[in-house]
Amino acid sequence: AQKITQTQPGMFVQEKEAVTLDCTYDTSDQSYGLFWYKQPSSGEMIFLIYQGSYDEQNATEGRYSLNFQKARKSANLVISASQLGDSAMYFCAMREPYGGNQFYFGTGTSLTVIP
Amino acid sequence: NAGVTQTPKFRVLKTGQSMTLLCAQDMNHEYMYWYRQDPGMGLRLIHYSVGEGTTAKGEVPDGYNVSRLKKQNFLLGLESAAPSQTSVYFCAIGRQAGNTIYFGEGSWLTVV
């Protein structure tokens, strides 16, 4: 079974609008971490935001926020006020502390911001 | 890229050749990982290490070997390269209780 599922291969958003990128995860652990990374066309992986499974509040980092719904096992990324530079691939990831602190990644969502 | 250096950046191999990718870090992190990235498949974990002298298999370990003789270095070896190993390889590092992992710039490998 997939640990991380991203069902949106591609998304479009108008500049200055908000966009939500979906992510669901599968784990039986109580303690885990959820992450989002951005990969622009240049190829590097850029860390955006982190949410711990015990965190009661949704994580926010500037224009990025993580909509964490534990019961639904979802960790959606919300980008507010989209900018042209937000056009990139976005990957959701999960860390499971037990068994070696492995990180599992989804297949990614390609976001295109339209001027 | 947060003190993670991968060498080489680009390489073309012939089927059956061997090569080693080096990941070097200067952040003294315990955990090191090797991922491969293929179109439509995201990043898949090949091998990882939780400390000097230790290695473990990830999701797609076949055809690869690794070693971590020194804490700062994590080597990924291809003993007999196959076209299916054409990919972009990323090294990443992390702390035991860290909130993220940091990636190298990637190594583009083509096997012909």
The DSSP bridge partners found for residue B76 are: B21, B66
Asked if pLDDT for residue B56 goes beyond 80, the answer is yes
Instruction: Specify burial of residue B62 (Cβ count, 10 A radius: 0-12, 13-18, 19+).
Output: exposed
pLDDT score recorded for residue B49: 93
pLDDT score recorded for residue A96: 81
- Residues in chain B with CB shorter than 8 Å from the CB of A100 are 48, 50, 56
* Average pLDDT of chain B, as a whole number: 93
The type of residue at B99 is: N
| Spatial contact of B18 and B77, defined as CB atoms under 8 Å apart | yes
pLDDT score recorded for residue B32: 94
* Average pLDDT of chain A, as a whole number: 93
Q: How does residue A89 score in pLDDT terms, banded at 50, 70 and 90?
A: very high
Asked if pLDDT for residue A64 goes beyond 60, the answer is yes
Asked if pLDDT for residue A80 goes beyond 60, the answer is yes
Q: How does residue A100 score in pLDDT terms, banded at 50, 70 and 90?
A: low
Size of interface A-B (CB pairs under 8 A): 51
Q: What are phi and psi of B105, to 5 degrees?
A: -80, -10
Task: Identify the residue among A3, A6, A103 best suited for mutation to test binding to B, counting B beta carbons within 10 A and taking the highest.
Answer: A103
Q: What token pair was written down for A70?
A: 């534990």
Quote the minimal CA–CA distance from A16 to chain B in Å: 28
Asked if pLDDT for residue A2 goes beyond 80, the answer is no
Give the three-state DSSP class for A63.
Answer: coil
Q: What distance in Å separates the CA atoms of residue A88 and residue B38, rounded to the nearest whole number? A: 16
